[in-house]
Structure 1
Amino acid sequence: MDGDRPGAVRARGITKTFGDVVALDGIALDVAPGRIHGLVGPNGAGKTTLLGLLLGLAVADSGSLEILGAPVGRALAAPEGVAGFVDGPGLYPSLTARQNLAALATLHGRDAKGPAIDDALARTGLTDVADDRTRGFSLGMRQRLGLAAALLTEPRLLVLDEPANGLDPAGKRHVHQVLTELAADGTSVVLSSHRMDDVEALCSEVTILATGRVVYSGPLSELATDRQELDYRLVTSDPAAARRVAADVPELRLVGDPATLVVRARVPALDDLVTRLVKAGVALRELAPVVSPLEAAFLALTDRSPVGAEAQEGRS
């Protein structure tokens, strides 16, 4: 953790059951101040349950949970400084975006007519629809308004469930910018997402859940190592010549559709291929992993489809 500052989240041995269903099974989680921590896993892995515990919407059956340095032992007891939403933000559909925020500000004893509301609307890109009733808002607009509502409380821990859900590129850009700025100012963010590109763009750390258990928790960078074998798609000036060159590279395999040049290799073998292509006079126009390092780790650690070009069909 950062110096003498308490961790934003410290969980040990957290379990939670619903009848015969074990939603969380011995969960450990650490989130440092000023970090954006990603929470990923298949449907039913326990992500929403864990987020609910962080927001004080439920209490664990066993284990210890500290949030912002304070122990949490009962429902609806999250300490001051925690904000966010699970399963989408709760809004009053008959009120406008501005009125929704004003109502929330009043509930929290804050100024319902001050500049904070305009600032929250502007930061989330909702100024132009501030006086529209939320009944007609799209999913993405509701998500952004939920984030604006959380900003009103000036949180030290922000907990978000699929914050980029339904966002267009402009909306996603607004949300990414807000979260990055919050982290830079010392706010901790825990977010769940099915979009690996969002997690990779935002998060420095990630926890991967499967069947209620942590299968990986740590820096995102450790999931992408030279030892990890991935599939890479290449676009070159001469596909036939590139395929012949690739066939001679040790510890590298051609995979996938013969019409597309896809190779399976670790980073050293991939570097060897690039060097050989240059020497052969073949221009390399594009080189990208078929599956990102995070998604590859997700698939492997959660025992999903095999990683590679043939794994593309049926991914979610």
Structure 2
Amino acid sequence: MSTIHIERVSKWFGHVVAVNDVTMTIGPGITGLLGPNGAGKTTLLNMMAGFAAASTGTVALDGAPTWRNEQIYRQIGMVPEQEAMYDFLTGAEFVLANAKLHGLSDPRGAADRAIDIVEMADAAGRRISTYSKGMKQRMKMAASLVHDPAVLLLDEPFNGMDPRQRLHLMDLLRRMASDGRTVLFSSHILEEVEQLATHIEVMVAGRHAASGDYRAIRRLMTDRPHRYQLHSDDDRRLGAVLVAEGAVGAVQVDEADGALHVQTSDFGRFTQALPKLARDHKIRLYDITPADESLESVFGYLVQS
């Protein structure tokens, strides 16, 4: 069983800070690296895989540094997000080349087994240029598994996959985790991570924002202040009764857009109270719209908290 330790790691490119003072430990099982696009997930994965050096801090696999350490490549399998591959090769040739680079005693046998694992045997003889994005993802997965690694790092692995391919990959990753392997995959979709990961690490704007199982992360997101925009036939009266009931913490009537803006820290109480109060006070609700439900705003709250 292998463990990745990241200690006070930062990475910058010129004046751009991609990863900022991150500390985390990734152990056996399935960990989801969650965050919006541009959060620093890919940079962090590249440092774990030994493809990039940390500007400050340390990244180690079982106590050994990952940077400039060729030995760790025998323990790590990496599936990058980039779609670019050697399109003039067949899938079988691509995986076989990776097996040979690892110096395996039976490279062809290892390549065939890896291709079978990802269910791409029927398409292995076709050139990669003819593959869909989902097929390319699966063949990259085969190449990363060819040397039977103890650690698997995947960058947005479900991009471009159809529902059947996604379910198959999820089942494969669960089997690998049950064998005691360390599996880490990045995603910007919370529901995707919930289905698969037993532990979640959240990255936002290069910073480590939160850590825990998906219930803890979901609770952090649900319990944050929520803002809504409402339209009714009496916005001022509706705002007054919501405040009196304690269902919201702040209200504002915007004459410009003719809407009532409310903020609440108790999402459950607000959603239960709103229709009841409107009915009891004979206020007609026309619509209610979340005003801050973008992924960036949700993750931004985690950073601030």
Q: TM-score if structure 2 supplies the norm length?
A: 0.72
- Aligned residue for 1:298? 299
Of structures 1 and 2, the larger Rg is shown by 2
Query: Alignment RMSD, CA only?
Result: 3.8
Q: Equivalents in 2 of 1:179, 1:186: separation in Å? A: 11
- Identify the match of residue 190 of structure 2 among 189, 196, 200: 196
- Identify the match of residue 42 of structure 1 among 29, 37, 40: 37
Q: How does 1:128-139 map to 2 (within 5 A)?
A: 128-139=122-133
Contact 1:88 1:146 in 2 (8 A): no
Aligned residues, how many? 269
Q: What whole-Å deviation, never above 9, does each CA across 1:61-100 have from its counterpart, x for those lacking one? A: 2112211332334376645311113333663212211121
- Identify the match of residue 17 of structure 1 among 12, 16, 32: 12
Tell me how far 1:297 sits from its aligned partner.
4.5
CA separation of 1:51 and 1:121: change in aligned 2, threshold 3 A: same
- The structure where helix makes up a greater share of residues is 2
- Aligned residue for 1:140? 134
Q: TM-score if structure 1 supplies the norm length?
A: 0.70
CA separation of 1:77 and 1:21: change in aligned 2, threshold 3 A: farther
The one-letter amino acid paired with 2:8 is G
The one-letter amino acid paired with 1:104 is N
CA separation of 1:104 and 1:46: change in aligned 2, threshold 3 A: same
Gaps of 5+ in 1: 232-246, 254-263, 277-288, 304-316
Partner SS state of residue 29, structure 2: coil
Q: How does 1:76-91 map to 2 (within 5 A)?
A: 78-88=72-82, 91=85
Gaps of 5+ in 2: 228-240, 250-263, 277-289
CA separation of 1:79 and 1:126: change in aligned 2, threshold 3 A: closer
Tell me how far 1:267 sits from its aligned partner.
7.4
- Aligned residue for 2:175? 181
Q: Equivalents in 1 of 2:135, 2:14: separation in Å? A: 36
Q: What whole-Å deviation, never above 9, does each CA across 1:14-69 have from its counterpart, x for those lacking one? A: 111111111211111111112333232332x2111111101111111211221133
Q: What whole-Å deviation, never above 9, does each CA across 1:202-231 have from its counterpart, x for those lacking one? A: 112222222221111222221233855779
Contact 2:48 2:60 in 1 (8 A): no
